[in-house]
Chain A
Amino acid sequence: MLKYTLIPLLPFLSFLINILFGRNFIKDRAHWIAVPAVVGSFLLAVSAFLDVAGGRDINVNIYSWIVSGSFNVSVGFLIDRLSAIMLIVVTSISTLIFIYSIGYMHGDGGYYRFFAYLSLFVFSMLILVMANNFLLMYFGWEAVGLCSYFLIGYWFHKKSAADAGKKAFIVNRFGDFGFGLGVILIFLTFGSMDYMQVFGEAGGIAGQTINLLGYDVNLITLICLLLFCGAVGKSAQVPLHVWLPDAMEGPTPVSALIHAATMVTAGVFMVARCNPLFNLSEVAMNTVAIVGGVTAIFAATIALVQTDIKRVIAYSTVSQLGYMFLALGVGAYSAAIFHLYTHAYFKALLFLGSGSVIHALHDEQNMQKMGGLKKYMPVTYWVFILATLSITGIPFFSGFFSKDEILWRAYLAGDLGKFLWFLGTLAALLTAFYSWRLIYLTFHGKFRGTHEQEEHLHESPPVITVPLMLLAVGAVAAGWVGIPPIFAEHGDKIGEFLAPVLGYPEGEGTHAQEYFVMGASIFVAVAGWIIAYTMYLKKTELPQKLGAAFQPVYKLLFNKYYIDELYSKTIVQPTLKASDKIILGFDTYIIEGIVNGIPNLIGAFSRKLRKIQTGLLSDYGLIMAIGALSIIGVWIFLR
C-alpha cells in the first residue's frame, strides 16, 4: 500500500521541499529534488503496472479524512488496467520533461518555483488518475487546473502570459461548474461517491428521470452531460477550446506536459473511467461523439494557416483530442485511451522539439522567420520527422495504429459513425498537411531570421536532445501494442488489456471494409504530405497565391473563425471588464467591503453592543448577577 501511496507522494514531497527551501537554499539545484522524485514515481508506477497486469487490481482506501454517517470523505486509490496505463503515461512523460526542463529553464529566475509547480502538477495529476472516488478526482481535477494557471502565467510579468492564465481560468470555470454539479448530483443520486458503488448501482437507476424546469430529464443523461461539461473545458473541446492555444504562453515544457500529454487528456480519461454511466445514455454518447468529431476537423482547419509554431501544435492537440472524444462517443473507449497514450509521446515530442527550436532562435516562435534549420539542428530535425510521421498516420508509426483504430470503430458505428468517420478522415488529410507544412517552413528552405540569430544557431545540449530521442522511440514504437487483428492474431494487446475495464467495442466489419478504411487514411496522409511538399518546398509562391485567391477563407481560418473575437465581444470582455471591475472593485469594494463594509453593517450593531462592555467592575458583576437571576427566573417561569 505504501508503494502506491508513494507514487503521488514523491512529487508532492518534491513540491514541498522546493517551495519551502527553494528560495533560500536550493535555488538552481531544484532539479536534484524534483527529478529523482519523479523518476521514483515512474519506477513505482511500472511496478504497479506489473502488479495490475499480473491480474491484481488495487482498490484501497488510504485514509478517511472525514467520516460521519453516510458522508465519507476518503482518500483511496483505484489502480486497475485503465489507471495503470495512465500512470505509465503520466510518469514516463513527466520524467522526460523534467529532465528536459533542466536544460530549458536553465538560468531562469524562478527555477525552483518552476520545478515546485511542475511537481505539484504531477502530484495532482496522479491523484486525479488514481482516485477511487469522485470527490478525490474532483480535487485532482481542480488542482491540475490550478497548477496549469500558475504555469501558464509563470512569466507573470509578461502581460500576455498573465492574460492567458486568466483566460484559461475563466474558460475552465464554465466546464468545472458543470463537473462540480455532476459530482454533487452523483452523490445525491447514489448516496456515495465511490466509483465501484456508483458504477455498480448505475444500472439500477437507468431510465429514471427527474423534473427539471418542467421537463423530465433522464438522470443518467444529465449526470453524464454535466460531467462531460468538465471534460469539454479541461480537454479544450469546441466551444471551450479557446484557452488552450493561448496557454502556449507558458514555458514549452509546460505546454508539452500539461497542455499536450497529460492534463488536457484528463477529460478523455474521466469519460473512459465513467464508461458504465455513459454506456447507459445514448444521448450523452452521441453528444460526446459529435463534439469530438467537430472539434477534430474544426481545429485542424485553423492549424492550416497559423504561423506561430507552438500554436500550430496546440491546434493540432485540440484536433487530436477531438479524435479521442469521437472514439469515446462511439463506444471505442480502448481506442480512445490507445490514442491518448500514443498521442502523449508524439505530441510531447513535437512540443519539446519546437521548444528546442525556439531555444536555439532565442524565443522566436514565428515560422515565417525560421527555415533551413535542418543543417543546424539535425537531432531536432530527425525527431521532428519521426513525430510527424507518427501523427500523420504513416503505417507502422504509432499514430497510424491508434488513429486507424478510432476511424475503423467510427466506421462501424452506424450512420452517425460513418459521418464522423468521414470528418475524421478529412481531418487526417488536414493534419498531414499542416504537420508537413510546419516541417518545411521550419527546417527546410532558407533561413529567414535575422543575421544575428543565424550566427547563434546551434543544436541543443544533450540534456535536451536525449529526452527528445527517448520520446522519439515512444513516438515510433508506442503503437506497436495495438496492431489490428487483421495483421496479427492478438495484435491488439492494449484493447484486450483494457477490455475488463472498458469493454471491447462491438461491431464486426469485413476485412474488405477494414482495408478500405485503412487505405483511405493512408491515402489522405500521403496526399496531405504531397500537397504540403508541393506548396512549401516546390512551388513556394503557391501558398501566397492561394491565400490571395481565397482571401475570405484564409482570413477566416487565420483568425480562428473569429471565435475569440466572438467570445471576446459577448463573454470575455464583459467578464473581463466585470472581473477587472471586480478586481479593481475587489480592492475598493469587496476588500474595503469586508474590511469596512461588513463591520459597517453588522458592525453598527456591533459597535452598539460593545458599549455594554463599560469597563466597570460593578457593571460586569451586575450582568453576571442578572444572568444568574434570569436563568433562575426563566426556569421558575417555565416550570
Chain B
Amino acid sequence: MEMETTISLLDIRPLVPELTMICVGLIVILLDLIVRKKEVVAIVGIAGTLVALYGTYKLYGFYEPQSAFSGMFVLDGYSNFFKLIFYLNIILTICISFKYMAIEKASFGEYYALLMFATTGMMIMASAADLIVLYLGLELMALSTYILAGITRKRQRSNEAALKYFFLGAFSSAFLLYGISLTYGLTGTTNLREIASALQTLDLNGSPIMYLGLIFMIVAFGFKIALAPFHMWAPDVYEGAPTSITAFMSVGPKAAGFAVLGRVLFGAFAGMQVQWASILIPMAVLTMAVGSIIALAQTNIKRMLAYSSIAHAGYMLLGVITGTTGGLMSTVNYLAIYLFMNIGAFAIVIMLRREGFQGENIEDYMGLSKSHPLASALMLIFMFSLAGIPPTAGFIGKFYVFMEVIKAGYVYLAIIAVAFSAISAFFYLRVVMYIYMKDPKEEVVLTRSPSMSIALAVTAMMVLILGIFPSFLLNLVRYSILG
C-alpha cells in the first residue's frame, strides 16, 4: 500500500478551526495564571470559538467538500453543520456558566480550556473519515468531559459522576477499539470509504465477524449518545456533574455521537443497512421507553432532564434507522433544535442555583410564576418545546423525524414514538404545572447575569423562531448534507 511520506504544510489548512480551538485553549490556561478576572478568560474562550467558527465558514466555503491527510480527515457540509452545533454548544455553555461556576467555586481557567478541548474532539469526530481519527477525536472529547464532570472536586456527587463516567467510558472505548480491530482485520483498512468498497469487493456484508465488529462500534457510539441499554451512566453523571457541564454533555457528545454514527453507518456500512437497522430498532424503542417512563418518577430536575435526553436520543435515532438521506437530515435537524431547547432548560435550572441552595428539586419550581414571570414563561417555552407542542421548535423536530419514519415504511415505529412522546409530555407539563398552578413554598431568588440573559434570549428566540419558521434550518440542513 502506498503511503504518502511527506506532509506539506498546506495539508494542515483544513485543520485550522481545530488548531485554533486547541491554541486558544492553551492560551486560556496560560492567561488564567496572569489574569485575576475569570470573565476575561471566558471571553477569550468565546472569542477563540468565534475565530474557529469564522474559519469553518470561510476556509473552503461551508458546503465545499475537502479532504486532508490522505483522506483521513474531511471537511464537508455534514461535518461543518455539526461543527456549527458544537460552536453554539460551547458558546452557550460558557454563557450560562459564568456566574454558576463562581458559585460552585470552580471557575478555573482550565474549565474553559477543557470545554474547548472537548469541543475540538467533537469537531475531529465530525470530520473523521478514518476510524483512527474517529477514535482519537472521541478520546479527546471523552477525556476532557471526564474531567469536566468532576471539576467541582469538593462535591462528592461530582466526583462520583466523573468516576462512573470515566470507568464506563473507558469500558465502552475498549469495545470501540475491538470493533475497529475486527473491521480492520477483515477489510484491511480503517478508511471509511475504503471499508465501504471492501465490503462490496470482498463480499463481507453477510460476514458474522464483520457484524460483530459493527455491533461493538454501535455499542460505543450508543454509549456516547446514551442509547439504552448503554445509557446507564447518563442519569447519574448528568445529576452529579455541575449543571453547566450537564447542559454541555447532553448536547455535545450526543451530537458528536450522531455525527460519527451517521458517518460510519451511511458512509462505510451503507450496504449493511438491513443489519444495522435491525439492531437499532429495538434499541430505539427501548431508549424511548426507558427515557419517557423512568423520567416520570424523578424528583430531581437534572435527573429528569437526563432521562428526557435519553428519550430524545431515541427519537433522533429513528431518523438514522430509516437509512435514507431524508431521515438523516431529520435527525440532524432535530439535533440542532434540541441544542437550543435543552440548553435553555438547563439555563433556567442553573438560575435557581445560588449560594447555599441547590434548586435541583422539581418542587423548588412551585409557584415560580408568581415571583418570576419571565423566567417562568421561558421555562414554559422550553418545556413545551421538549414535549413537542406546537408552535415551538420541538414540534417541528419531532414532526419531520416521524414523517421520515413513516415515509421509510416504519409506521409502527412512528406510532410507538408518538405514544412515548405523549407519555413524556406528562413530566414536562408537570414542571409547568408546578410553576403556574402551585403556591410557592419558599421564595426563590434567581441568580442573574448578563451572559445568562443573552443565552436565554438566544435559546428562547431560536426555539420560537425555528418553531414558526422551520424552513430556514431545514434548508441549511439540506444543503449541508446534500451539498
Are A and B close enough to touch in the complex, i.e. CB under 8 Å? yes
Whether A64 sits at the interface, judged by CB under 8 Å, is yes
Q: A63-B469, A66-B396, A635-B211 are in contact. Are A609 and B168 (CB under 8 A)?
A: no
Which of B211, B230, B468 meets A624, CB within 8 Å? B230
Which of A598, A599, A620 meets B232, CB within 8 Å? A620
Whether B167 sits at the interface, judged by CB under 8 Å, is yes
Whether A53 sits at the interface, judged by CB under 8 Å, is no
Please measure, in the bound complex, the distance between the C-alpha atom of A32 and the C-alpha atom of B427, giving whole angstroms: 43
Contact A627 B219 (CB under 8 A): yes
Whether B279 sits at the interface, judged by CB under 8 Å, is yes
Interface segment out of the listed A198-206, A559-567, A600-608: A600-608
Contact A628 B164 (CB under 8 A): no
Please measure, in the bound complex, the distance between the C-alpha atom of A603 and the C-alpha atom of B407, giving whole angstroms: 33
Within 8 A of A (CB), among B388-408: 396, 399-400, 403, 407
Within 8 A of B (CB), among A357-379: none
Whether A545 sits at the interface, judged by CB under 8 Å, is no
Whether B296 sits at the interface, judged by CB under 8 Å, is yes
Whether A485 sits at the interface, judged by CB under 8 Å, is no
Set of chain B residues within 8 Å of A631, measured between Cβ atoms: 215, 218-219, 279, 283
Please measure, in the bound complex, the distance between the C-alpha atom of A627 and the C-alpha atom of B220, giving whole angstroms: 12
Whether B433 sits at the interface, judged by CB under 8 Å, is yes
Secondary structure of the A contact surface, majority rule:
helix
Whether A615 sits at the interface, judged by CB under 8 Å, is yes
Within 8 A of B (CB), among A64-102: 64-66, 68-69
Contact A624 B294 (CB under 8 A): no
Please measure, in the bound complex, the distance between the C-alpha atom of A468 and the C-alpha atom of B433, giving whole angstroms: 46
Whether B236 sits at the interface, judged by CB under 8 Å, is yes
Please measure, in the bound complex, the distance between the C-alpha atom of A607 and the C-alpha atom of B297, giving whole angstroms: 6
- Against A, the Cβ 8 Å flags (1 = close, 0 = not) of B37-76 are 0000000000000000000000000000000000000000
Whether A594 sits at the interface, judged by CB under 8 Å, is yes
Which of A64, A65, A603, A626 meets B296, CB within 8 Å? A603
Contact B290 A609 (CB under 8 A): yes
Please measure, in the bound complex, the distance between the C-alpha atom of A624 and the C-alpha atom of B175, giving whole angstroms: 11
Contact B236 A602 (CB under 8 A): no
Q: A594-B430, A599-B297, A609-B290 are in contact. Are A627 and B229 (CB under 8 A)?
A: yes
- Against B, the Cβ 8 Å flags (1 = close, 0 = not) of A589-618 are 001001100110011011101100101010
Whether B233 sits at the interface, judged by CB under 8 Å, is yes
Contact B399 A615 (CB under 8 A): no
Please measure, in the bound complex, the distance between the C-alpha atom of A628 and the C-alpha atom of B283, giving whole angstroms: 11
Set of chain B residues within 8 Å of A619, measured between Cβ atoms: 232
Please measure, in the bound complex, the distance between the C-alpha atom of A496 and the C-alpha atom of B163, giving whole angstroms: 82
- Output the nearest chain B residue to A20 by Cβ-Cβ distance: B374
Whether B223 sits at the interface, judged by CB under 8 Å, is yes
Query: Contact size class for B?
Result: 35 or more
State the Cβ distance, B472 to closest chain A Cβ, in Å. Answer: 10
Which of A591, A606, A621 meets B168, CB within 8 Å? A621
Whether B426 sits at the interface, judged by CB under 8 Å, is yes
Please measure, in the bound complex, the distance between the C-alpha atom of A603 and the C-alpha atom of B426, giving whole angstroms: 11
State the Cβ distance, B401 to closest chain A Cβ, in Å. Answer: 11
Set of chain A residues within 8 Å of B163, measured between Cβ atoms: 617
Please measure, in the bound complex, the distance between the C-alpha atom of A638 and the C-alpha atom of B399, giving whole angstroms: 33
State the Cβ distance, A138 to closest chain B Cβ, in Å. Answer: 14
Contact B433 A624 (CB under 8 A): no
Set of chain A residues within 8 Å of B108, measured between Cβ atoms: none
- Output the nearest chain B residue to A621 by Cβ-Cβ distance: B171
- Which of B171, B232, B293, B403 is most buried by chain A, counting CB atoms within 10 A of its CB? B232
Within 8 A of A (CB), among B150-182: 163-164, 167-168, 171-172, 175
Please measure, in the bound complex, the distance between the C-alpha atom of A68 and the C-alpha atom of B470, giving whole angstroms: 13
Contact A623 B426 (CB under 8 A): no
Please measure, in the bound complex, the distance between the C-alpha atom of A621 and the C-alpha atom of B163, giving whole angstroms: 13
Set of chain A residues within 8 Å of B403, measured between Cβ atoms: 68-69
Whether A580 sits at the interface, judged by CB under 8 Å, is no
Within 8 A of B (CB), among A17-61: none
- Output the nearest chain A residue to B298 by Cβ-Cβ distance: A610
Contact B232 A624 (CB under 8 A): yes
Contact A595 B433 (CB under 8 A): yes
- Output the nearest chain A residue to B431 by Cβ-Cβ distance: A595
Whether A587 sits at the interface, judged by CB under 8 Å, is yes
Whether B471 sits at the interface, judged by CB under 8 Å, is yes
Whether B411 sits at the interface, judged by CB under 8 Å, is no
- Against A, the Cβ 8 Å flags (1 = close, 0 = not) of B226-243 are 001110110110000000
Contact B212 A609 (CB under 8 A): no
Contact B296 A599 (CB under 8 A): yes
Contact A602 B215 (CB under 8 A): no
Give the A-binding residues of B (Cβ under 8 A): 163-164, 167-168, 171-172, 175, 211-212, 215-216, 218-219, 223, 228-230, 232-233, 235-236, 275, 278-279, 282-283, 290, 293-298, 396, 399-400, 403, 407, 423, 426, 429-430, 433-434, 437, 468-471
The 4 closest A-B CB pairs, nearest first, are A627-B229, A620-B232, A606-B297, A606-B296
What are 5 A-to-B residue pairs whose CB atoms are below 8 Å? Answer: A598-B426, A602-B293, A619-B232, A635-B215, A635-B279
Additional A-B contacts beyond A610-B298, A623-B232 (11; CB < 8 A): A594-B430, A595-B434, A598-B296, A598-B426, A606-B296, A609-B297, A621-B167, A624-B223, A624-B230, A627-B219, A627-B229
